[in-house]
Amino acid sequence: MIWYWGANTTVKEEEQKKVEPPPPPTEVDHLITGVKVAPGSHNYHPVAVMIENSTAARPQAGLTSADLVYEIVTEGGITRFMGIYSSNFPTKAGPVRSARSYFIDYLSEFDAFYAHAGGSPTAIERIRQYGIKDYPHSADAYWREPRRGVASEHTLFTDVSKIYNFGVSKKGWDPRAEFKTWLFKDPSATPAATATVTINFSSGQFNTVWNFDPVTNMYMRTMAGSPHKDAVTGAQIAVRTLAAISVPHSANPPYKGTGKESEWNMTTIGEGAATLFQDGTATAARWKKPSRTERLRLYDATTGTELEVNRGKIWIAVVPQGGSYSQI
C-alpha cells in the first residue's frame, strides 16, 4: 500500500480553510439610524419620550439627541413630538406631555420603553391592552422646573438615561432590542446646492421650514419663523433625512361630561402618499405600515421599490389631509 502524505495534508488544509469562520465585523449599522458603530452599541433598547410643542413649552430639551422624531398634530392643531432614543440617552428631555393612541402605533415598531405624563383615555387603555413597556411620570426619573407665568403642565422633564436604566434594572425589561432596520445608504458626496422644505401642519405657530445645508448635508429646522434650538445646548435641530407622510384623520366627539375635545382618529395602519427629502432632493413616495408592530417604510411612488435613507438622524412629519408639504 502506498500513502500519499503530501496530497492528504493539502486536502486537510483546504478543508480547514473552508470551515474557518470569517472575522467578526468591526462596525455594524445602528438599528435606527444606520450609522456605523461598534458591535454592541447598535441595539440598545429604544426609549420613546412624549415632548410637547405648545408655545409655553419652547424651547424644548433633548430633541437634538433623538435618533428619530415623529411629529404629529394633536387637538387644536398643536403638534407634539415623540423622540426615539437609542444611540444616546440625554439626562434632560421635555417638557414631557401626555400620550396619544396614534403615537403608540409608531412606538410599537420598536417595542420602546414609553415615557409620558398621563394620556387620553384611549391611549391609556391601549397601553394596557398592548402590554406597552410603560414608564409614566414618577419621582425617580422625572422632575418639574417651575417658571413664572407658565402652567405646571409645561414644566415636567425626564432623564432618558434613567428611563432606560430603571426599565432594565427595576422592571426587568430587555436592554437590547431586535427589529428590522430600514435600508440605509451613505449621504451623497455631491448633494443639491440648496433646498427649502416647507411643512404646513395647521397654523403659523406650528408650521415648519427645513433649510438644506449642502456643506453638512443636513436639514436645519425653523419653526414659527425662528431657528428651532435645544434649550440645553443651544444647537439648532438638524437631521440627515426628513420624511413627510400624509394620513387621513377625523375628529371624535368631545369626551363625555367634560366638553373637552377628544383625541383625533389617525390612519396609522395602511398606506398613503409621502415624500422623502434627503441630499437636497425630493422623492415622491408611498408609506406603508401593514400592522401596529411592523415598521413604517417608504417606497418609490413610481417603481414600488423600498427607498434607501441616509445614515443619520431621521425626522418623520405625519401630516393630516388638511396640511401640506413641498420643496423649493
* CA 136/CA 114 separation, integer angstroms: 7
Can you give the length of the chain in residues? 328
- Residue 24: asked if its preceding bond is cis (omega within 30°), the reply is no
* pLDDT at residue 261 in the model: 63
Q: What is the DSSP string of 126-156?
A: HHHHHT-EE--S-TTTEEE---TTS-GGG-E
Q: What CATH number did the domain enclosing 90 receive?
A: 3.50.90.10
Residue 22 included in any domain = no
Residue 159 included in any domain = yes
* CA 165/CA 171 separation, integer angstroms: 9
Residue 218 included in any domain = yes
* CA 268/CA 266 separation, integer angstroms: 6
Q: Reduced to 3 states, what is the DSSP secondary structure of residue 255?
A: coil
Beta-carbon contacts of residue 65 (< 8 Å; ≥ 6 apart): 83, 85, 88, 89, 90, 93, 160
* CA 60/CA 141 separation, integer angstroms: 17
* pLDDT at residue 21 in the model: 76
| Exposed e or buried b per residue across 85-122, where buried means at least 16 C-beta atoms within 10 angstroms of its C-beta | bbbebbebbbbbbbbbbbbbbbbbbbbbbbbbbebbeb
Residue 225 included in any domain = yes
User: Phi-psi category of 113—alpha, beta or left, where left has phi over 0 and alpha has psi -120 to 50?
Assistant: beta
Residue 80 included in any domain = yes
Residue 2 included in any domain = no
* pLDDT at residue 87 in the model: 97
Note down the domain range covering 279.
Answer: 36-327
Count Cα atoms within 13 angstroms, Cβ side, for 109.
24
Opening angle at CA 324, ends 251 and 235, nearest 5: 105
Opening angle at CA 94, ends 61 and 52, nearest 5: 110
* pLDDT at residue 25 in the model: 83
| Structural domains of the chain, count | 1
Beta-carbon contacts of residue 267 (< 8 Å; ≥ 6 apart): 247, 248, 249
How distant, in Å, are the alpha carbons of 92, 118, 226, 231, 232 from that of 155? 12, 14, 22, 13, 15
Mean pLDDT of successive 10-residue stretches along the chain, which has 328 residues? 47 59 88 97 98 96 98 92 98 97 97 96 95 95 95 96 98 97 97 95 94 98 96 97 94 70 87 98 98 98 98 97 92
* CA 214/CA 150 separation, integer angstroms: 39
* CA 127/CA 24 separation, integer angstroms: 39
43 closest CA partner among 83, 87, 84? 87
- The helix or strand, by DSSP H or E, that contains position 326, with its residue range, turns out to be strand 324-327
Residue 9 included in any domain = no
Can you list the alpha helix ranges (DSSP code H) found in 63-100? none
How distant, in Å, are the alpha carbons of 53, 95, 131, 191, 207 from that of 223? 10, 17, 35, 24, 6
